[in-house]
Amino acid sequence: MEYFRHLPKVKYEGKDTKNPFAFRFYDPDRVILGKTMKEHLPFAMAWWHNLGAGGSDMFGTETADKSFGSMKRTMSHAKAKVDAGFEFMQKLGVEYFCFHDVDLVPEAETLAETNARLDEIADYITRKMKETGLKCLWGTANLFSNPRYMNGAGSSNSADVFCFAAAQIKKALDLTVKFGGKGYVFWGGREGYETLLNTDMKLELDNIARLMKLAVDYGRSIGFTGDFYIEPKPKEPMKHQYDFDAATAIGFLRAHGLERDFKLNIEANHATLAGHTFQHELRVAGINGMLGSIDANQGDLLLGWDTDEFPFDVYETTMCMYEVIKAGGLTGGFNFDAKNRRPSNTPEDMFHGFILGMDSFALGLIKAARLIEDGRIDEFIKERYSSWQAGIGAKITNNEVTLQELAEYAEKLGAPKDPGSGKQEYLQRIVNDILFGE
Ligand code: XUL
Ligand code: CO
């Protein structure tokens, strides 16, 4: 069965096309800074949004029909989703998918039954992967929707719940390995707290790390060679989330000896919820050698929650690609953890969402490469920090000085040289010129 029969395979037609089902900037074979666009931008489809989310919210039911011709919560629906998803990815030229365990099948009453369903669908998916050449970017376990996780998973007060989380992670890792996934994600959906009046914070944090260590040991024992990722998020659903932002997650990983196996999956909308720019979070991950993967979406700065919009702000995608290029690329990819707006409820809109997202990132890549080739920003930063290249600056960075020596140096100097203008407006204009002036 073809689910998007009336929709074409989306191709690159260049920036002058008015065809709504063509890429204007994403040209998979175009080479930029020595790599093709496709290599720079391994795009992925999020199973949950694209094949699952029908637009329901707190005030209303679904507006989009994601039944794909089958009754929901059945295995035939699960299979229809696979067929529709693979057709969708092929038509868009998206090579990867990401999944939670319970995105793939309806959860059953028992773990054993859910796992049997997962085995059945995994065989079905593996066959499709072989037929099409499509791949898995990462897998994860949903440890937040089922009521048993109301107090957390790794951070639950209940040891039994912790064991259920372990069981789900084990199975999700089995599936990720079966699909040849590049990564495995921990997004700590309910790993946080509402009030310290009922919370043992130290035990909760230690237990989350224990669960992660157990996952690493198991994953490595079954041949998982990819990266584990933490996906930081500051709030929603919990008031205090333990993985607040990149810096917090990195500190946590280092404190528990997990930094060799883990990197970060940075999500744009989570960054802005944490009061950071997307670029800030990418930089923090990048300079720590932990920029693994990206959940490519966009928030609404006027709203205080995770709106998971398709990325359209080219300034943001440019700065994102600037960071990614500077960090030497991703080990993961760009997962559109994004959904159509509730009134955008047709299959065409599903295509428009991905075309928008892919073209926004392609344009961001083109512009980021131009910023780097232009060189004025790099040059300015180099000059701004030139005092560290020689003399006392070089001695400090080589760790060849004592505080006493520095004090003597400062005293002799009388006054430091003018540190110079930061020239922010000049630099912002360069970015605008490259984004809009050429
Ligand atoms: C939630 C979120 C998740 C993770 C995977 O905000 O981003 O969908 O990406 O659990
Ligand atoms: Co996400």
Distance 397 CA to ligand 1 centre (A): 40
| CB-based burial label for 123 (10 Å; 0-12, 13-18, 19+) | exposed
Summary mean pLDDT of the chain: 98
311 and 429 assigned to the same domain: no
Integer distance in angstroms from the first to the last C-alpha of the chain? 45
pLDDT value for 74: 98
Residue 334 CB neighbours (<10 A) = 27
367 and 387 assigned to the same domain: no
Residue 132's pLDDT band, with cuts at 50, 70 and 90, is very high
- Which ligand is closest to the CA of 140, given by its number? 1
Determine which one of 40, 77, 100, 276 is catalytic. 100
Q: Please check whether residue 96 is in contact with residue 137, taking contact to mean a CB–CB distance below 8 angstroms.
A: yes
172 and 161 assigned to the same domain: yes
146 and 281 assigned to the same domain: yes
Average pLDDT on 229-239 reads 97
Assess whether 374 carries a catalytic annotation: no
Sequence-distant (6+) residues with CB within 8 A of 247 are 284
**Domain termination site, one of 350, 374, 398:** 374
Residue 178's pLDDT band, with cuts at 50, 70 and 90, is very high
Which residue minimizes the CA distance to atom 5 of ligand 1?
Answer: 187
110 and 137 assigned to the same domain: yes
Residue 17 domain flag: no
Q: Which atom of ligand 1 is nearest to the CA of 306?
A: 6
Does 438 score more than 90 pLDDT? no
DSSP state of 49: I
156 and 170 assigned to the same domain: yes
> Which residue from 99, 104, 186, 187 has its CB within 8 A of the most atoms of ligand 1, so it is best to mutate?
187
**Domain termination site, one of 345, 374, 403:** 374
Q: E strand or H helix at 422, and its extent? A: none
- Which ligand is closest to the CA of 49, given by its number? 1
30 and 168 assigned to the same domain: yes
Assess whether 276 carries a catalytic annotation: no
Residue 328's pLDDT band, with cuts at 50, 70 and 90, is very high
Residue 182 domain flag: yes
> Does residue 140's CB lie within 6 angstroms of at least one atom of ligand 1?
yes
393 and 363 assigned to the same domain: no
Residue 5 domain flag: no
pLDDT value for 1: 87
Average pLDDT on 26-36 reads 98
pLDDT value for 379: 98
Determine which one of 27, 101, 103, 243 is catalytic. 103
pLDDT value for 153: 98
> Does residue 243's CB lie within 6 angstroms of at least one atom of ligand 1?
no
> Does residue 355's CB lie within 6 angstroms of at least one atom of ligand 1?
no
Report d(CA 358, CA 365) in Å as an integer. Answer: 10
Distance 384 CA to ligand 2 centre (A): 36
> Does residue 185's CB lie within 6 angstroms of at least one atom of ligand 1?
yes
pLDDT value for 357: 99
CATH value at residue 155: 3.20.20.150
Which residue minimizes the CA distance to atom 8 of ligand 1?
Answer: 337
Using DSSP's 3-state secondary structure scheme, residue 31 falls into strand
Report d(CA 143, CA 39) in Å as an integer. Answer: 32
388 and 366 assigned to the same domain: no
pTM equals 0.98
**Number of domains comprising the chain:** 2
pLDDT value for 254: 98
Report d(CA 334, CA 281) in Å as an integer. Answer: 15
> Which residue from 47, 295, 303, 305 has its CB within 8 A of the most atoms of ligand 1, so it is best to mutate?
295
288 and 403 assigned to the same domain: no
> Does residue 103's CB lie within 6 angstroms of at least one atom of ligand 1?
no
Residue 7 domain flag: no
Report d(CA 232, CA 251) in Å as an integer. Answer: 12
Range list of β-strands (E), 42-95? 43-46
> Does residue 339's CB lie within 6 angstroms of at least one atom of ligand 1?
no
In the structure encoding, which two tokens stand for residue 368, read together? 């980021």
Residue 172's pLDDT band, with cuts at 50, 70 and 90, is very high
Does 349 score more than 90 pLDDT? yes
Q: Which atom of ligand 1 is nearest to the CA of 236?
A: 6
Distance 74 CA to ligand 2 centre (A): 26
What digits encode the pLDDT tens for the residues 359-394? 999 999 999 999 999 999 999 999 999 999 999 999
> Does residue 337's CB lie within 6 angstroms of at least one atom of ligand 1?
yes
Q: Which long-range contacts (CB under 8 A, 24 or more apart) does 420-425 make?
A: 420/384, 422/384, 423/380
Residue 338 domain flag: yes
Average pLDDT on 57-86 reads 98
Domain range enclosing 319: 26-374
User: Count of residues for the chain?
Assistant: 438
pLDDT value for 319: 98
Which residue minimizes the CA distance to atom 7 of ligand 1?
Answer: 337
Sequence-distant (6+) residues with CB within 8 A of 101 are 114, 118, 139, 140, 141, 142, 168, 171, 172, 175
pLDDT value for 13: 98
**Domain termination site, one of 374, 394, 412:** 374
